[in-house]
Amino acid sequence: MPSNIDIGSSAIDRPLYWTSGNWTRIVKGNPANYSGKLTKIYVYAHSAMYGVEFATFYQGAANVFSTRDTVAIGTIPTGYSEHTVNLTVEVGDFLGMHYTSGEIELTGIGQGEVGVWKLNADGIPCTDTTFEFVADCTISLYGTGTTIAPTVTTQAVTDILSITATGNGNITHTGGENPTKRGICWNTTGSPTVADNKSEEVGSFGTGAFTRPITGLSPGVKYYVKAYAYNTSGYSYGAEVDFTTDKVAPTVTTQDTTDRLTTTAIAHGTITASGGENSTVRGFKYGLTKTDTWSASDSGSFGLGAFTKGLTGLTANTAYWIRAYATNSIGTGYGEWIQFQTAASGVIPTGTNLFIAADLAGYSFQLMKSETDDGYPYTAYFVISTDLTNKQGLAYYKRILDLHLYFRSESSGTATIEVKRDNEADWQTVGTVSLTGTADIVIPHLAPDIRAKHFLFKISAQNFFRCLGILFEYLPEDLR
């Protein structure tokens, strides 16, 4: 709650009265206990008073005074009266009045009063005016009021960067009691208050300049700012100022490529932060090493979000490094380098390659995952061919009688084995085997007894499995 101000001497019926008019009189007793605003002045007149003015005075030298604030009232009736005013007062100020005619109640000599200052002229207003001191008396003139909210100004924001700045304020008046909070508030829509973003400190603050850090900003955005301070009378704000953060290059991430075939792949990237303005170019840089050898990009106006680009002219069974990028007027932001490998030549089943490998003898296989899989569970599989040269050699019928599969043992799970013969369009199930066992390696056996010139075998299981090798037993037939 605001603190109560009182100033002057009680407005009561006193034993004497002051008859002389056109005098300015200041009550010495009870100077203002707080700064703020006087809202009521109380007077006890022995007879009606005319041409009445009230003022708050501050003292220079011993008997030298200046008015701080003044108000003209006019006529005051006989007896007790109350008058609504709005006078600025500071701690230690005195209350005084001037009237052209009439009489005010007075306590005179011998009553232990602290005295008044008087001027035989209209001293409202006055500056550095010398008054005469009269001891051991006082008049019936009293004022009350409350402390008020502080007065604050806002200065221009400084140290502006892309995501931070410095706010500046100044408490020019405490409002009668030191503020316990001061700070800077801001938003992007205008007229900010402490309900918006703020940077605040708590303590006991007098008048003077202060600064506060403004953080958590976005690049290239206009912000509105006010300084503020708080005491028990409430919050007070300075005028609004605005500033715009610096723009920066966009922020980009690189995701794994998909649809990797022998000479093509789909690259994926994401613009995660615009840097304050849309990008005009986005795309991918790639090479055989972490070098921007080739580029694939699009031009336009691009905000936040994922983007893709088809890569062409790649070499089969080759490892590439790739990174996404985006460019605005400030510069270019790059994602991290990641590596991918194109598919080996030959029959490539549809799906998304996780990686490609080959054994020492030259047999190749692709470890795959369905294009529609996203998280767990998913079906992982790889495909292996019994041929070395993509259907151009070993062109005779073979009768496969036995399959010996070597797996690392798992705690659970089943692997499914399927086959495509020659130019079959669909996979045919050969059988299933358990991946569990007490030994480190489990060696299940299947006896399919299938006949063709060329075979593709697909081994699949849910989520995760480790296949160490496959041993085929077959008989050649119809050799030519």
Cis upstream peptide for 377 (omega within 30°): yes
By residue count, the chain amounts to: 480
Looking at the chain, the whole-number percentage of residues with pLDDT higher than 70 is 90
Which residue from 10, 3, 43 is spatially nearest to 29, judged by alpha carbons? 10
pLDDT at position 346 is 55
Cβ 174 vs Cβ 231: under 8 Å: yes
Burial class (CB in 10 A: 0-12, 13-18, 19+), 90: middle
pLDDT at position 367 is 45
Cβ 14 vs Cβ 106: under 8 Å: yes
Q: Read off the pLDDT of residues 337-381 as tens digits, 9 standing for 90 and up.
A: 999 999 887 544 444 343 334 443 444 444 444 444 444 566 777
C-alpha torsion 409→415→419→424, nearest 10: -150
pLDDT at 423 over 90: no
pLDDT at 87 over 80: yes
HSE (side-chain half, CA atoms, 13 Å) at 336: 4
The mean of the pLDDT values for the chain is 88
Residue 355's φ and ψ, nearest 5 degrees, are: -165, 165
Read off the pLDDT of each residue in 469-478 and give the average, rounded to a whole number: 76
Range 334-340 contact pairs with CB under 8 angstroms and sequence separation of 24 or more? 334/252, 334/285, 335/252, 335/253, 335/254, 335/269, 335/270, 336/253, 336/254, 337/254, 337/290, 338/254, 338/255, 338/256, 340/256, 340/257, 340/260, 340/265
Read off the pLDDT of each residue in 284-290 and give the average, rounded to a whole number: 97
Rounded to an integer, what distance in angstroms lies between the CA atom of residue 339 and that of residue 255?
Answer: 10
- Residue type (1 letter), 151: T
Q: Read off the pLDDT of residues 183-217 as tens digits, 9 standing for 90 and up.
A: 999 999 999 999 999 999 999 999 999 999 999 99
Residue 463: pLDDT band (50, 70, 90) is: low
Rounded to an integer, what distance in angstroms lies between the CA atom of residue 145 and that of residue 158?
Answer: 39
Read off the pLDDT of each residue in 267-287 and give the average, rounded to a whole number: 96
Q: Which helix (H) or strand (E) holds 355?
A: strand 352-358
pLDDT at 480 over 80: no
Read off the pLDDT of each residue in 66-95 and give the average, rounded to a whole number: 96
pLDDT at 451 over 90: no
DSSP codes joined into one string, 161-181: -SS-EEEEEEEEE-TTS--SE
Q: Read off the pLDDT of residues 298-313 as tens digits, 9 standing for 90 and up.
A: 999 999 999 999 999 9
Collapsing DSSP to helix, strand or coil, 479 comes out as coil
Q: How many CB atoms lie within 10 A of CB 260?
A: 24
Rounded to an integer, what distance in angstroms lies between the CA atom of residue 369 and that of residue 20?
Answer: 108
Rounded to an integer, what distance in angstroms lies between the CA atom of residue 251 and that of residue 276?
Answer: 11
Please indicate whether residue 282 or residue 394 has the higher confidence score (pLDDT): 282
Residue 174's φ and ψ, nearest 5 degrees, are: -75, -15
* Cα diameter, the chain: 145
Instruction: Give the pairing of strands 352-358 and 364-369.
Output: antiparallel
pLDDT at 390 over 70: no
